[in-house]
């Protein structure tokens, strides 16, 4: 083993390099590496667009996105970046385009809490049975656009509640 290490040393010294060999970037003191286009880095969530559907949590292979119902009206969403594998499944599944993967990759920290984001989403409830069925924002968007299909009279009612008979 010592013989092989001495051989490596001799090969390195015979290289005749007048300056020391540089094997890393002078990163903290100089420019860092260029990030290629399409690089998948830190996961960012636009809380104003998030509707709390939980699709991202369902497809996440590392289970770094957690959906928790706090009460009947509020849903708590958390993303733990220290567990993320940067697969971008959450970004692909998000209907509202609230999740994006940025080019930021410098996430080292001494405090693990810095890598966790938590937000709460208000959920709409059914006017008949009281169940949470869709976030309020989606219903409001549908009504703003002028959604006049059969749901017009059932605004605020979930699909599980039976339709009232018209008399």
**pLDDT of the residue at 109:** 87
**pLDDT of the residue at 105:** 85
Question: Quick one: DSSP state of residue 24?
Answer: S
**pLDDT of the residue at 64:** 95
**pLDDT of the residue at 44:** 94
Tokens representing residue 34 in the block = 């260029």
Place of tokens 């938590």: 118
Question: Quick one: DSSP state of residue 73?
Answer: S
Output the average pLDDT for the chain: 78
Domains, the chain, ordered by start: 37-153 (3.30.70.20)
Residue 137 has pLDDT above 60, yes or no: no
**pLDDT of the residue at 117:** 93
> How far apart (Å, rounded) are the C-alpha atoms in residues 104 and 73?
34
What residues have CB less than 8 Å from 56, skipping those under 6 apart?
65, 89, 90, 93, 94, 99
91 and 104 in contact (C-beta within 8 Å)?
no
**pLDDT of the residue at 25:** 67
| Interval 49-104: pLDDT, tens | 888 888 999 999 999 999 998 887 888 999 999 999 999 999 999 988 999 999 98
**Helices and strands counted in the chain (H then E):** 4, 6
**pLDDT of the residue at 77:** 93
Residue 17 has pLDDT above 70, yes or no: no
Select the more confidently predicted residue: 103 or 10.
Answer: 103
> How far apart (Å, rounded) are the C-alpha atoms in residues 7 and 56?
53
| Interval 26-46: pLDDT, tens | 666 677 678 888 889 999 999
89 and 99 in contact (C-beta within 8 Å)?
no
> How far apart (Å, rounded) are the C-alpha atoms in residues 87 and 76?
23
Tokens representing residue 162 in the block = 């039976």
> How far apart (Å, rounded) are the C-alpha atoms in residues 76 and 66?
8
> How far apart (Å, rounded) are the C-alpha atoms in residues 148 and 167?
22
**pLDDT of the residue at 145:** 61
């Amino acid at each position: 083993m010592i013989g092989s290490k001495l051989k490596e040393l001799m090969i390195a010294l015979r290289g005749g390099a007048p300056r020391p060999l540089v094997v890393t970037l002078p990163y903290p003191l100089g420019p860092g590496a260029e990030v290629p286009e399409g690089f998948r880095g830190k996961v960012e969530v636009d809380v104003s667009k998030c509707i709390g559907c939980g699709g991202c949590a369902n497809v996440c292979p590392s289970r770094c996105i957690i959906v928790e119902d706090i009460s009947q009206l509020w849903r708590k969403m958390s993303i733990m970046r220290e567990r993320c594998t940067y697969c971008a499944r959450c970004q692909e599944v998000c209907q509202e385009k609230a999740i994006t993967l940025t080019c930021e990759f410098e996430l080292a920290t001494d405090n693990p809490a810095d890598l966790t984001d938590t937000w709460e989403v208000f959920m709409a409830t059914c006017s008949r049975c009281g169940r949470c069925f869709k976030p309020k924002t989606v219903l409001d968007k549908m009504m703003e656009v002028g959604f006049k299909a059969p749901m017009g009279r059932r605004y605020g009612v979930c699909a599980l509640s039976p339709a009232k008979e018209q008399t």
